[in-house]
Amino acid sequence: MSQLRAVALNELVLDPARLYRDAWGLLTAGTREDFNSMTVSWGCFGELWGKPVTQVFVRDSRYTFEFMDKSDYFTVCFFEKKMRPQLMVLGSQSGRDMDKMHASGFTPVFFPHGIAYEEAVLCLVCRKLYAHNFSKENFYDQEIYQEIYGEGGFHREFIAEVEKAYVRA
Ligand SMILES: Cc1cc2nc3c(=O)[nH]c(=O)nc-3n(C[C@H](O)[C@H](O)[C@H](O)COP(=O)(O)O)c2cc1C
């Protein structure tokens, strides 16, 4: 039986910068039969359109990008710091080239919407609301554009409603 229990969103005290930047997240999209996960450390939480939202930024070259595009839902899972080695593997190798889940040793949990991991301390189930691609003309700070996108590619921003949260029991 899963150790993850559902909690009301207003019970959560989230420190967005700490969660994404310091704890890193594991973003997962797809179906029970076919899904993929990648590590993310760029992300935001907030309120938009009267809903609690998160934003994640997925580069077009990622295999996960294809799953994000096709899925109505995705999850972001957060882990204890001791899981960093696994998150480093999931954030440096592509699911195109390896069986990531087998290599990470994480145990998938299949929610009615979204796939999370048993080893996580916090899992957020997110429903996509909006997506758009960053573009050169819209950067007020062209130095960032040059530094991050100067050699090609872009990130797609996904804004999603945080519908459900699960924490370790
Ligand atoms: C700590 C860390 C944070 C990362 N954050 C992001 C991110 O926010 N957005 C992104 O597109 N890639 C990010 N990456 C890179 C992807 O996780 C990496 O390219 C991954 O191998 C993609 O896997 P995939 O091809 O199976 O989707 C991060 C990697 C690490 C190690």
> pLDDT tens digits, residue range 41-86?
999 999 999 999 999 999 999 999 999 999 999 999 999 999 999 9
Walk along the chain (169 residues) and give the pLDDT tens digit of each residue. 788 999 999 888 888 778 888 889 999 999 999 999 999 999 999 999 999 999 999 999 999 999 999 999 999 999 999 999 999 999 999 999 998 878 889 999 999 999 999 999 999 999 999 999 999 999 999 999 999 999 999 999 999 999 999 998 8
Q: Does domain 4-168 have CATH number 2.30.110.10?
A: yes
- d(CA 138, CA 135) in angstroms, rounded, equals 6
Q: What is the pLDDT of residue 39?
A: 97
Q: What is the pLDDT of residue 15?
A: 81
| Residue of 44, 57, 62, 89 to test ligand 1 pocket, by largest number of atoms within 8 Å of CB | 62
Distance from first CA to last CA of the chain, Å, rounded? 11
Of 8, 37, 60, residue with least CA distance to 108: 37
| Residue of 18, 24, 38 to test ligand 1 pocket, by largest number of atoms within 8 Å of CB | 38
Domain boundaries, the chain: 4-168
Q: What is the pLDDT of residue 114?
A: 96
Counting from 1 in the atom list of ligand 1, the atom nearest the Cα of 43 is 8
